Amino acid sequence: MNTVSSLSSTELAARLAAGLHLRTGNFTTRLQTAIPSVARGIGLLYADYAIEGPASFADFHLELARPRNPRRWIRPQVQLLYDGRALFKPLPLDQAFPMFEWGLNWCISSRAHRYLIVHAAVVEKHGRAAILPAPPGSGKSTLCAALVGRGGWRLLSDELTLLRLDDGQLAPVPRPISLKNQSIELIRGYLGDAVLSDPVSDTTKGTVAHMKAPRESIEQSHCGATPAWVVFPQYAAGAEPVATPMAPAHTFMQLADNTFNYSLLGVQGFDALARLIDASAGYQFRYSRLDDGLAFFDRLAAGQQP
């Protein structure tokens, strides 16, 4: 199967203008756009992803287009269309690529109800996965980037943990890792060879950039993982690393608060989450240095008490 990297920049722009079928994990998205910044972002960050033929099935149909009003020229904007409908407010044109990322997150989290969907990063080593749910500002994505960029963990997702309802396995959907504000330069310096998109400022999340997912994680996106740990990270400037075990009932309630469709799935959601908690050790982890974070997760993977 061909990948995005098999297309020249001219061919990629032409395919996007007509509708590019892009494969990410178990999902195919038909993305249509003529916006150059989106083409550059896809070419840079999705180079290793499979593309499918124009007649193939797509789970989601997205279009990024400039509105047909004076905003095409005056303070230009971009509009995201889902199945031809405008469901979201337009954004400044320079936010077109982040809008694609946010829109695809919305598609999966609001439509993929064959999974229990948790707002959390998830990484895997030796077949066992660590789930990292956390609110904005906790350092979740920064820690996730360090784990997959230097720590030898496989990226399943930095935003959406997909728990299969039938067998309790975690389904990968590795995509670019979203970094914000100070985390952008921190990860650029910490990893050195990380591929990042150009930062986009003045978004609702501040300044954002996206880090390319490791090729190995993309190539293994057909391989699920077994949940083993639920870790609630919390970055605190100057803090020494502290891992606090959590009772299963507390872990259950905290994780349920971070799900998108727990209530919608009813008994299925409860049973799936209960099985995950039974199979996983829960921790709160407070840290300030990425090296301490990697050391903590290495101890988990080695079966040692943190």
pLDDT tens, residue by residue, 60-110: 999 999 987 766 667 899 999 999 999 899 999 999 999 999 999 999 999
pLDDT confidence band for 129 (50 / 70 / 90):
very high
pLDDT tens, residue by residue, 224-277: 999 999 999 999 999 999 999 999 999 999 999 999 999 999 999 999 999 999
Q: According to the model, what pLDDT value does residue 71 have?
A: 61
Task: Give the DSSP per-residue string, the chain.
Answer: --BGGGS-HHHHHHHHHH-EEEEETTEEEEEEE--HHHHHHHHHHSTTSBEE-TTS--SEEEEEE--SSGGGTSS-EEEEEETTEE-S--EEGGGHHHHHHHHHHHHHHHH-TTEEEEEEEEEEETTEEEEEE--TTS-HHHHHHHHHHTS-PEEEESSEEEEETTT-PEEP---PEEEETHHHHHHHHHHSS--BPPPEEEETTEEEEEEPPPHHHHHTTT--BEEEEEEEEEE-TTPPPEEEEE-HHHHHHHHHTTBSSHHHHTHHHHHHHHHHHHH-EEEEEEES-HHHHHHHHHHHHTT---
